[in-house]
Structure 1
Amino acid sequence: MVAGLQGKRAAAGGRWRLVGLLLARPVGWGSDRGSGVVWVVGFMAVVWVVAVTAMTVGSVRAARHRADAAADLAALAGAARVAEGRAAACRAAEAIAAKSGGRLSACGVRGRVVEISVTVVLKVPIATDALRVSSRARAGPVGTEGVF
């Protein structure tokens, strides 16, 4: 058996072996067979992880902007109703925060200034629990030195 294999190697010039009618490959090449599949699968896994991470970062940034906008609008709505009392100001702020995709987590009225905290809940594929993104805003009458 070994003599027959050496004869094929010698007949092919010592470096190449005939595999089929028209196919020739280097001797000893069989040990790498299928390694390309492993590399492709590994590369696809890396691309997938990078894509999921990029989508997660993008969705967190979008939720942060949504929370900022909801807090700003809720604070302005509360400041518009502050003359009617604390309850009316916080109700208006809560309604605007809910319409903006957030949840009012804190509402404070001090004089004519309304301070608001809004939370946006976000489900991301990497984390097991939902993420909470919070933002705060303050609105009131403008004086010579800014908001009172």
Structure 2
Amino acid sequence: MREGCLGRWGQRWRSDRGSGTVWVVAFMAVIWVGGVVAVGVGGIRAARHRGDAAADLAALAGAARVADGSVAACREAREIARRSGARMAGCVVRGEIVDVCVTVALRAPVGGGAVRIESRARAGPAGRDGVT
């Protein structure tokens, strides 16, 4: 039996037929997973910024109403947090200082479940040398 001009190497090369398809599919899977992770991280960062902004605004709104009492201050803070897309998790008034904690719910991509991001803020009157 004659092996031809390529000898055994020709047979080995023929057995690699279709391996390029496997490599392309594997590369596409890696790119897809990377894209899903990037979208998830971007969504979490955006929710974190939204929560921080909601907490800041709620604390400022509560501090503006602290003269009306702690109940009125926390009610105003809760309303501002709700309008900002967050949920008030806690509100504490100590003197003229209002501490708030808000949560933002986020759905993780591809069945990752729900994630809750928590943000805190404090607001009160400015001191003699600036913000206290």
What is the TM-score with the length of structure 2 in the denominator?
0.89
Distance 1:147 1:103 in 2: 26
Corresponding residue for residue 78 of structure 2: 94
**1:57 paired to 2:37:** no
Amino acid at match of 2:99: E
TM superposition outliers: structure 1 runs of 4+ over 4 Å = 145-148
Distance 1:126 1:115 in 2: 35
Alpha-carbon shift at residue 144 of structure 1 (Å): 1.7
Residues 56 and 126, structure 1, Cα contact 8 Å, conserved in 2: no
Residues 74 and 97, structure 1, Cα contact 8 Å, conserved in 2: yes
**1:27 paired to 2:18:** no
Alpha-carbon shift at residue 146 of structure 1 (Å): 4.6
- 1:42-78 CA-partner distances (Å, limit 9, x unpaired): 0001101111111111111111110110000000111
Distance 1:99 1:118 in 2: 12
List runs of 5+ in structure 2 lacking aligned partners: none
Alpha-carbon shift at residue 124 of structure 1 (Å): 1.0
**Which of structures 1 and 2 has the larger relative contact order (alpha carbons within 8 angstroms, sep 6+)?**
2
Corresponding residue for residue 119 of structure 1: 103
The share of aligned pairs that are identical, in percent, is 58
**1:44 paired to 2:35:** no
- 1:63-111 CA-partner distances (Å, limit 9, x unpaired): 1110110000000111111111111111111111111111100001111
Give the total of aligned pairs: 130
- 1:31-51 CA-partner distances (Å, limit 9, x unpaired): 001101100010001101111
Distance 1:40 1:78 in 2: 57
